[in-house]
Structure 1
Amino acid sequence: MSGRVMPGHTSDLLTLQDAGALWAGLTADSAVPTASTILISSLGSAQMSYALLGSHVVMAVKAHDGRWSISESEVRRAAVGLRAVKVDPQDLVRIGPFGGMPKGEHSEAVLLGWRRRIVGELQRPDPPEQVVPDGDDRALHLAGIDWRRILTEQSRDRTRQTWWLPRAVVRLLDAAEHVERRWLQAGQKESKAAEGIRPRSPRSQTHTTENLQVTKPDHLAASLRPYNEELKGLLYSVLSRKPDTSRKVTGWICTLCRKVPATVLDHCHEHGYVRAPLCQSCNAQERPDHLYPNDIRVTDRYTRLLTTHATEWLRHWHRCPGCRTRTTLPLSHLAAWTAYVACRPLRPTHRDNHSSRGRKPCGTLRVAWTGSHHTPHTCQLTVTIDLCPSGEHRDLAKVPYRQATEQFRIWLAKTAPTVAAAAGPDRLDDLPAQFRPVIPDKSDKGLGLF
């Protein structure tokens, strides 16, 4: 267990002030900026008080004079884990705002609902006369991390601000939230069991607190069950109505990154079939970057989706029986593939004086389509170059849907033969004759599962 502290052993204990100074010093060279103080949370009982540092839960002990102390060795262990996190500042995940998210929602715990915590803080009006008490950085504090120093604001359609965090930090906070939730659930079970048996002496209370089990971050993946196609061929619209589905989802590890717990159930918007449980980070990376409903940007993240980790992502998309049997992708993903892969030889380059290669691709790729996903065979994809330095490029190519699917089929066989081998028109049993309407993905609304 992370943070196993015994009140009777004081040689390893530090006051919160000293522990905060140690934490800040040990993580000064970390890629993830940290807060200068350590916060204590509890579950309605002093025996359940704890601090969350990175993805480590550390028990807290209250002395007779009312001061809190925590273990020095556990602070050092948490700092080692945080320093090991590598951050790519260009690999960002949107964390808000999302429609339907309540403003100013807070939890007594340090981290639970960390996305809501951040969005609530950013959306809350701060009158000029409101003064934050000295030393109270709870608004900036997420598991010992100062999130404002790594938050990125971007403008959408020049009117709406959105907030983003590095993907590595999002995964760290997701793992920390999972560890904290497990720790609190274990504590609640112990408390209920104690109430149903007999009152406990102070010694037995200490023993119970010491033996609360929580998964260490290093073994987080081992504590979750892998997804073994248990939901294969099932419709998202059916599963989303079952009350126990969201609980089952959180018991799986993310199917793609295999590092943190799954939080959402990814599904095909065109055919309605479930693909697999994913974490928020992978789900956000998989989601197309829409400018408009039928117009998307083709960003650098497609390098990972369609190049470096193509086999994993293609296998994930083909978990949908509709996409797999027709050897294609959902319309928005097929459009991005056409612009990024099929039209790559057509993309012009310009001289780049700041690059050793001498030239760089022109402008920014964008792809739009006419028609509807209900009748994809009538669609035409238009690949466009935006922000050309010389202003000379407009439409790069116009590709009919049938041509795009045929090009994708050929490319798939060369790039991911194992995925292509599982696809084909001979497996059309039980598939709808017509494309299903898009099933709204409500994960953006309050970040609910369904």
Structure 2
Amino acid sequence: MSVTQDDLVEVVFPAERSYEERAAEEEEAWWRTDWRRSISGWMHDEVRRKLMAEDRPYSEWGAWRAIGENGLPGGLDWVEFVSTRMNARRPMSIAGTLPLQLLTHAEKRWWLPRTYSDLLDRADQVEEDLLARARICSRCGARGPRLSGWRTPTTSGYVTMCPPCSGAEFTAYPGHLRGVAYGQMRARKLRADDYLCRLCQSSRASVWDHCHEHDLVRGPVCASCNTIEGMGTPAYLLRREEVVEHLLECGRCRSERTLPARFHAAVAQLHLEAEVRHASCPVRPHVRHRNTTQAGHVFDLYCGRHWTKKWRQEVSDTEALELVHVFVDQALTAGSPGAGVPGPRASSDTPSRT
């Protein structure tokens, strides 16, 4: 079967933009579904991955966004790129298909079968139409932001309700179950969906969240917030005041001045970001939790200004627990849990690195 020029369509990928350029763009334009931009993003992500794996400082990356003769940025090799992406834990797919298998570079241009390109365009449009419909409040007709999270479960299925309408429809949780054992509350068959989510305060709650270490109720949360609180990155969660306040709804966490064990390394990470510096450099380091050993937590630190300066630091379990106590004390004293970032360790001076 022969393929003619009419069977193909040229694919023009958008140029990669810096973070500043993205931030300056309107939210609507940036988040609009675009399969071409998705593929371009895969290419540039692979360039960044390779450069970071080589431990090259950003100042030596050069024109890594520049497109080469083979149509790829940063000197990428097509076979290596496709192999890496296709063998990833989550292969790059769009609309349930694998576009890299059909993409062809010829005559310094990218090509796809016309019917396949049309399919991807239709998939983009269908997704945009569904998102547009999901943004309209079913009560008052208000149109919310694209990433509003206005979808809320009801007895008849999911509906879209703006925060004012949700507030009028459901009851704010008064905290009357604080200190009640989760197992006891379940036996009483109390319903969470009578209340607003106490985290986002905009969606109907669907489950009772509780402290898994002390088996005490924290409060009603929606499915989305329950997933974020249960599976989100601990260091990210602790930067949100409402999340820390919610964690301290457990009476024993509050009285014992502690947090669930999975947050201890995150508290130590926030401490290192706030207090440790590379020599006299004023820039906060990038801190990554490497692993947890029997002795404590191990972190990799990168100077945010001098990318060649990297070092490793350990925080013992005892030190981490002291930092958790300080974090909780500061949060409770401030009246807005989460506002406090743990200060220097009481047991030693804050280290610096050269």
TM-score normalised according to structure 2 size = 0.48
More contact order relative to length (CA 8 Å, sep ≥ 6)? 1
